[in-house]
Amino acid sequence: MTVQDIRSFNRFYTNVIGALDYSRQLYAPYTLTESRVLYELAHAPRTDAADLRAELSLDAGYLSRILNKFEEAGLIERAPSDTDPRRRRITLTARGRETADLLAERANESVGALLSTVPSADRTRLAEAMRAVREILSEGRPPRREDVVLREPGPGDLGWIVSRNAALYAAEFGWNTDYEGLVARIVADFAEDHDPHLERVWIAELDGRPVGCVMCVRDDAPGTARLRLLLVEPEARGLGIGDRLVEAVIDFARGVGYRELVLWTNDVLAAARRIYQRHGFVLSAEKPHRSFGKDLNGQDWRLDLHGTRE
What is residue 70's predicted lDDT score, i.e. its pLDDT?
A: 93
Rounded Cα gap, residues 93 and 97, in angstroms: 6
What is residue 309's predicted lDDT score, i.e. its pLDDT?
A: 47
Count each helix (H run) and each strand (E run) in the chain, helices first. 10, 10
Local structure of residue 46 (DSSP, 8 states): S
User: Is there a shared CATH topology between the 3-117 domain and the 142-304 domain?
Assistant: no
Measuring CA to CA, which residue among 43, 34, 109, 94 is closest to residue 64?
Answer: 34
Q: Which residues of 197-223 are buried (b: 16+ CB within 10 A; e: fewer)?
A: eebbbbbbbbbeebbbbbbbbbbeeee
What is residue 7's predicted lDDT score, i.e. its pLDDT?
A: 80
Q: How far is residue 294 from each of residues 184, 291, 297, measured CA to CA in Å?
A: 19, 6, 10
Pairing of strands 260-266, 47-48: unpaired
The full set of domain ranges for the chain reads: 3-117, 142-304
What is residue 252's predicted lDDT score, i.e. its pLDDT?
A: 92
User: What is the tens place of the pLDDT at every residue in 46-55?
Assistant: 677 877 887 7
Measuring CA to CA, which residue among 238, 166, 169, 229 is closest to residue 202?
Answer: 229
Homologous superfamily of 142-304 in CATH?
Gcn5-related N-acetyltransferase (GNAT) (3.40.630.30)
Q: Which one of 1.10.260.40, 3.40.190.10, 1.10.10.10, 1.20.1260.10 gives the CATH number of domain 3-117? A: 1.10.10.10
What is residue 203's predicted lDDT score, i.e. its pLDDT?
A: 96
Residues of the chain with pLDDT under 50: 23, 308-310
What is residue 310's predicted lDDT score, i.e. its pLDDT?
A: 44
